[in-house]
Structure 1
């Protein structure tokens, strides 16, 4: 547990020294489709944004280092700094937004560094709704099924992942019993790299991504976190820096997992997998992502198109995750797509971008 906490600090610092890629790749034609092109937005911030909640093509929230939370309501032309007061020493790694006014952010870290805040007025004011008091817990990600019901996950405590639950939109939280949680592997934990180590679809299904143990696994619950089953992915683990970093599901059956080894000097073979049975089984992508990828998202209204991002670029699939190819070389940590057709990405040195086609 302590070693994984140190790993997260290395992740935050080590990836921060990666050089930013220069310009986005030029658009190309593939199978009659024009490749997506990221349009950078000026946030006037140097924070690293691993938390991203894309509400629409006009509204998005980002959360990151130095307790920073920004919000745009005009498609990224301008950004409002809506950071919680007194949060400058916190590391925000996840944000979930219901609209332009209501959002929940998660700060990570050991002990009391793990906290949850909620706003109902667009970030003008925030309420701290949870502060971890267990020195063995380290919270990584959160997700919501709807505007009331959500979960947050911690690395294993006494051999099992710890799950927080809310039924009032993040205003209050309770720790769920762990009797339905399978045992964690030695050294296993989640990665607070993109806010996508815990994702949900529909009203009850939720998936949890792991690394660091002997195998990279994906855990699934069909009852909002009360009971879980574990399945091995094809993404290699066996080291504290390797495993499954991000998940995305387009329905309760079809999902994509991405990850690899976050160290810049290490290769990431077989760093993408897909499932068609809700995560009971996973198979390796025939043409995997080019390198370590921390975030992944399905395009809206598409059964086959998804994007994966990481510090060395963006990969695109048009066949449901079976094959991937690099379409951009800019550095991003997380990606999220909206029902009205836009996708947003965020990452180091205040980088935020949007694509619309």
Structure 2
């Protein structure tokens, strides 16, 4: 028995060392790359604008203007397409999407706010939520699982609009303003890439723009909220934070800028190492200007970032300290499933891409 216990201890130590070594190799490799390039391949071309893109069960799901939605098989590139219309003459615009193990949820921007639930197995579509109000405008939506989801919209009645479901969209509840932090008049959010919400475990981060560029944070899935300030550009109608991503509960990035001055690369990129409580500017005055989306590239130890916007695509190997512009081709949003492959969505097109490093 003692011999068996000794062997198990040794194996456990070796396993931990192997795991730690893999992490070290990943992080070291990410740091040592000096250059990268991107190859972009058009997959779907259409007269639609696509700002909502997500991945689940081997498919990239998208939703966009003219009531369009669909999926693209990540392995084959084959696409399915659908269209939702209120009637023959009235089209809706989707700017939010969330995939779960079995469903895909899509949400319109503007009045009326409509949520549809797509069953991935058979493609059936169910209308599960309606909100009618002149001021309604939802910006982003995320789901933790098949049943529980959250969406964020522009302020109404003294606070940001936040709706939640606990039953797969059958019923939705809007948080009361007494449950939400106060907002500053002129503060809003941007439905530019479905990326101004990030969920991770029980944590939720919402990002704002306009008069203020702030973080609304909850550590209990939206039951209670705190406000964190950022050093971001703010004060203009189209200034502020457009996208947020977190690698883990502590390490996160935000990006945005001024949509009216897209070349301005000051006060538009920041990083946190304490879960969003405080933020430090990165490459201020260098690297990308206005961008609508940013992600930590998977399997790179939290080192590599990819930022996209209408002005182009940028890559960073060192958490935003330095950047390389990889392409002049503009997109709204990006998703990746590993360190090398992903999809981009934008105006009139969805494209796959591959990153090569040296």
TM-score, length basis structure 1: 0.83
CA contact (8 A) 2:297 2:339 kept: no
**Which runs of 5 or more residues in structure 1 are unaligned?**
1-28
Give, in whole Å, the separation in 2 of the partners of 1:145 and 1:284.
30
**Which runs of 5 or more residues in structure 2 are unaligned?**
1-29
Structure 1 residue aligned with 2:91: 89
Q: 1:178 to 1:326 in 2, by over 3 A?
A: same
Structure 2 residue aligned with 1:64: 64
Q: Decide which structure has the larger Cα Rg and report it.
A: 2
Aligned residue pairs: how many? Answer: 323
Give, in whole Å, the separation in 2 of the partners of 1:123 and 1:240.
42
Give, in whole Å, the separation in 1 of the partners of 2:237 and 2:179.
25
Structure 2 residue aligned with 1:239: 236
Structure 2 residue aligned with 1:212: 210
Structure 2 residue aligned with 1:124: 123
Structure 1 residue aligned with 2:54: 53
Give, in whole Å, the separation in 2 of the partners of 1:72 and 1:232.
38
Give, in whole Å, the separation in 1 of the partners of 2:169 and 2:306.
29
Structure 2 residue aligned with 1:20: none
Q: 1:206 to 1:123 in 2, by over 3 A?
A: farther
TM-score, length basis structure 2: 0.83
Q: 1:229 to 1:324 in 2, by over 3 A?
A: farther
Give, in whole Å, the separation in 1 of the partners of 2:258 and 2:121.
36
Q: 1:356 to 1:125 in 2, by over 3 A?
A: farther
**Matched residue SS, 2:66:** helix
More strand by share: 2
1:67 Cα offset (Å): 0.8
Give, in whole Å, the separation in 2 of the partners of 1:200 and 1:245.
16
Q: Write the deviation string for residues 16-66 of structure 1: whole angstroms up to 9, x where unpaired.
A: xxxxxxxxxxxxx9943551414223313121110000237x520111111
1:74 Cα offset (Å): 4.5
Give, in whole Å, the separation in 2 of the partners of 1:61 and 1:89.
20
CA contact (8 A) 2:158 2:177 kept: no
Taking the TM superposition and a 5 Å limit, the aligned residue runs for 1:156-235 are 156-202=155-201, 204-213=202-211, 215-235=212-232
**Which of 256, 264, 269 pairs up with 1:272?**
269
Give, in whole Å, the separation in 1 of the partners of 2:158 and 2:287.
32
Q: 1:76 to 1:94 in 2, by over 3 A?
A: farther
Structure 2 residue aligned with 1:331: 330
Structure 2 residue aligned with 1:115: 114
CA contact (8 A) 2:45 2:348 kept: no
1:270 Cα offset (Å): 2.3
1:257 Cα offset (Å): 0.2
Q: 1:76 to 1:45 in 2, by over 3 A?
A: farther
The question of 1:73 aligning with 2:73 is answered: yes
Cα-Cα RMSD:
2.4
Structure 1 residue aligned with 2:3: none
Q: Write the deviation string for residues 184-233 of structure 1: whole angstroms up to 9, x where unpaired.
A: 1110000000001112112x1111111111x3111111111122111222
Give, in whole Å, the separation in 2 of the partners of 1:222 and 1:89.
37
Give, in whole Å, the separation in 1 of the partners of 2:44 and 2:334.
16
Q: 1:44 to 1:174 in 2, by over 3 A?
A: same
1:292 Cα offset (Å): 0.5
Structure 2 residue aligned with 1:18: none
1:70 Cα offset (Å): 2.1
